[in-house]
Structure formats: structure tokens, C-alpha cells
Amino acid sequence: MTCDTSALKASDVLSLVNTHDQQALIKSVHAHFLTGQGFTVATLNLDHIVKLRQQPAFRDAYAHHSHVVADGNPIVWLRRVMGQPVALVPGSELVMPLADLARQADVPVALLGATDATLALAAERMQADLPGLRIVARIAPPFGFDPSGAVADRILSDLAASGARLCFLALGAPKQEILAIRGAEKLPQCGFVSIGAGLDFIAGTQQRAPAWVRRIAMEWFWRMATNPIRLTQRYAQCFAILPGLFWSARRARIARRN
């Protein structure tokens, strides 16, 4: 998938989601494992749309991802308004299914991001739950890591030396998406999956919202309540773009009907 997101309308941004659900993603990743072809997975949410409008490097990276899923109920709802429904696929919920797929295919895995302690705990728990899973690299970038700089080059060299063919990126947006595209260029047989706090959840260093909160689509409120200083402004920006996204999605549906 390639597109110029700098010129996208709101409905076009929503159309970046090109993989319908988790089952479709797993099927595609399995095919890539069999052929030895790399891939990149991004997880679109409202925060990403805010950043796509503000950051050219993020737009460029997103434009070259092979797979984009809907990570956030607002994206799912807006796609329904467009008449192009997709399923919710949180990035943090991709780790274990894709790791299990890698285990079955004997594909070596790398964990990149977070901290050394978090990576060690996550690796231990993943291998306990998935016996035979080969985690061949655990890389925690230094604080202030630049995904476009020299440190990133060294990290990608280490990743190549490890032989990993599936890399979970737990760096947060936009770093993980930018590094994913750089990695795909340097390691064309490796798949890169951006998962945000996915490894922290597995390691237990961050707590995800309870299942009942997620079922009523209030995980955003739970997260903001537990970390208001960091997240209040972020969610305010997300809510500010919702009306425009809704009307753009509505117009796109009407235009298709006509």
C-alpha cells in the first residue's frame, strides 16, 4: 500500500485500514512466513490520525505499511458509518497470536522496545505460554532513541545478525512505525509489528483496563484516569477531530451510493 497521506481527506485516512480483522491478518502473515517475504503492521487509532496530520515522517511511514488494522473503537464505528465495516484489532492483542504462529512455523522472533527488565519478563512469559518459541533478540533502545538516527542503524544491524524474521516493536507511535519501514528496507525477510504497550502488558509492568471496561468501549477513560497528566491532552486532541471524521465518513458513504 502506498499513498500520500499529506493530502488525504479524513475518509481517506480511515481507508488506510486494509486488513479486515485479526483472522485475515494472521492468514496473511502465515503466507508471508511461508514465502520468506517481510511485512509491516500498523494499528490505526485516533491518536495516530492526529499525528498523521502533524508529522510528515509519520505520514511517509504509514503510507508504506503493508498491513493496517483498526486499533480503537472510534475507527471501527467510523468505518461502519462509511459503509466499510472492519473489526477491532488492538495491537497489544496481536502479540501472542502472532508469536504462536511464529512458533508453529519455527520463525525466530525479536522483541524491540520498552526496557531490559520488561523485555526479560515478557520473553519469559511468552516462552512459558508458547513452549518452543524462539526469541533470538531482546533490544531495549536508549532513552530519547531516534528511529531515523545512527543508533537505529546499529539496532537494525543487531536485529539482522540475530536472524529474527518477526519483530515486535514496542516503542510507541510514531517511533515504531518509522523504524518498521526502515527495518523493512534493510531486512526484507523480516516482519515488523507495531504493538505499543503490548510487551508491558505481557510482562505486567503496565496494567491494561479490565475486560469489562474494554467491553463497554471505555478503555480510553480508564487509561486517562490512571495517567491523566500524560493522556488528558492526547485524548482532547482525539475528541476534537471526531466530528470532522464523522461527517467525512458520512459524505464518503453517500458519494458511493450516488
Three-class SS state of 253? helix
Interval 57-71 mean pLDDT = 96
Three-class SS state of 151? helix
Please give the Cα distance from 142 to 175 (Å, whole number).
Answer: 13
Question: Which helix (H) or strand (E) segment is 34 a member of?
Answer: helix 22-35
Q: Which domain holds residue 128?
A: 5-257
CB 111 within 8 A of CB 176: no
Output the CA torsion sign for 33, 164, 69, 91. positive
Q: Is the pLDDT of residue 6 over 70?
A: no
- Give me the pLDDT at residue 41, please: 98
Tell how far CA 201 is from the center of its chain. 14
What pTM was estimated for this model as a whole? 0.93
**How many domains does the chain fold into?**
1
Please give the Cα distance from 47 to 164 (Å, whole number).
Answer: 30
Interval 219-227 mean pLDDT = 75
Interval 7-24 mean pLDDT = 85
Interval 16-23 mean pLDDT = 97
Q: Is the pLDDT of residue 8 over 70?
A: no
Interval 11-28 mean pLDDT = 94
Q: Is the pLDDT of residue 12 over 50?
A: yes
Percentage of the chain modeled with pLDDT above 70: 95
- Give me the pLDDT at residue 211, please: 82
Q: pLDDT class for 7, splitting at 50, 70, 90?
A: very low
Interval 128-144 mean pLDDT = 96
Going by their DSSP bridges, the two strands 166-170 and 191-194 should be labelled as parallel
Between CA 76 and CA 184, with CA 46 as vertex, the angle to 5 degrees is 95
- Give me the pLDDT at residue 221, please: 67
Sheet holding 39-44: strands in order across? 67-70, 39-44, 191-194, 166-170, 109-113, 135-139
Buried b or exposed e, range 181-201, using 16+ CB within 10 angstroms: bbbbeebeebbbbbbbbbbbb
- Give me the pLDDT at residue 74, please: 94
Q: pLDDT class for 159, splitting at 50, 70, 90?
A: very high
At 78-130, the pLDDT tens digits run: 999 999 999 999 999 999 999 999 999 999 999 999 999 999 999 999 999 99
CB 119 within 8 A of CB 205: no
Average pLDDT, the chain: 92
Q: pLDDT class for 143, splitting at 50, 70, 90?
A: confident
- Give me the pLDDT at residue 255, please: 87
Contact partners, residue 104, CB within 8 Å, separation at least 6 = none
- Of residues 250 and 6, more confidence is placed in 250
Interval 183-187 mean pLDDT = 97
CB 164 within 8 A of CB 110: yes
Three-class SS state of 204? coil
CB 68 within 8 A of CB 62: yes
Q: Which residue has the cell 525479536?
A: 110
Which cell goes with 2?
502506498
- Give me the pLDDT at residue 9, please: 66
CB 166 within 8 A of CB 100: no
- Give me the pLDDT at residue 126, please: 98
